[in-house]
Amino acid sequence: MSPTSQPVAVIALHGGAGTLTRRAITPAQQSLYRETLTQILQAGQALLAQGASALDAVTEAVRLLEECPLFNAGKGAVYTSEARHELDACVMRGSDLASGAVAGVRCLRNPVLAARAVLASGSPVLLIGEGAERFALARGCEAVAPDWFGTAERLAQLHSVQASAGQAPALDHDAQNLLAALPTSPLDERSKFGTVGAVALDAQGHLAAATSTGGVTNKLPGRVGDSPLVGAGTYANDRTVAVSCTGMGEAFIRALAAHDVSALMDYAGLSLADAAHRVVMDKLPPLGGRGGLIAVDRHGRVALPFNTEGMYRGWARVGAAPRVAIYADEEDGTQP
């Protein structure tokens, strides 16, 4: 596609990055993830085909990911070190840089909808804890009992990490590999992996991004990662790009990873592919930044780089078949 032609609407999403060893996932489990990602991509693709905004498309895609216990967001979120759930989410609109985020919420069924409510309010940008919950409930967001988010597999994952790694937090992929190594507790992919996110370009040429997470297994209570922080884990600007990140959030915060992709494109004139590659492959690793990101630029180009063995990812352009992939050696159809 020529950069000067009218872009075709496109959506991309991720279900987390980490050390996804092939020995720790069966072909049937891989198929389940691919089918789920495809279905959610098709839902977002259908919205964009109907003329929906990029913000609506990414919000709905992430809401669907939150409803799926395969992923670490909403239902099936990981546990803190105190065996509780603390959830974070952010949405951002590229046309005016409007943003909304929540962090550390415990009873909101869909944190991404709470983040969307914060964005719609106009101010503030980020609300945390009980204040965020009261705000969201007053605006019609659904409450659930805190134990609604948990699964037996997630609790086993926490106990495995605590037994094997002391008090150190673990990316969901790493935690799952530990769980798979236990002879009495074989891997169940339903207990699953990291941060989720979506980015989109709509038919009007606007960009948006959304990210949601349960954090990292065995995290300290009150810990907040990059996902709800504008510029760190989530960013969208119609001048450049929409970005959603996944990985060990502390490094992404220190690098301002999502915004850095935009800055490299805006100030240094790098292409989307080059900017995303530089952030993920060059700038994050020295900070301990294992993970990846998804991005769509204002021309509709897609980039899905990561520096781990795998990242659950996919993208779909309106009028074309969705593309999904897991491992680094799979062709995902992204453009240079």
Q: How far apart are the first and last CA of the chain?
A: 12
| The two three-digit tokens of residue 317, written as one number | 């352009």
Cβ within 8 Å of residue 61, ≥6 positions away: 11, 13, 40, 41, 43, 44, 198, 200, 210
Which of the following is catalytic: 59, 80, 151, 195? 195
- Residue 7, preceding peptide bond in cis (omega within 30° of 0): no
- Is the separation of the CB atoms in 9 and 48 below 8 Å? yes
The question of whether 195 is a catalytic residue gets the answer: yes
- Is the separation of the CB atoms in 305 and 7 below 8 Å? no
Distance CA 332, CA 315 (A): 8
Distance CA 64, CA 5 (A): 32
- Is the separation of the CB atoms in 322 and 316 below 8 Å? yes
Dihedral (CA of 164, 169, 175, 179) sign: positive
Distances in Å between the Cα of 183 and the Cα atoms of 48, 111, 177, 180, 186 are 46, 35, 12, 8, 6
| The two three-digit tokens of residue 176, written as one number | 């799952």
Question: Residue 235 pairs with which residues in a beta bridge?
Answer: 243
Longest dimension (CA), the chain: 58
- Active-site residues, by number, are 195
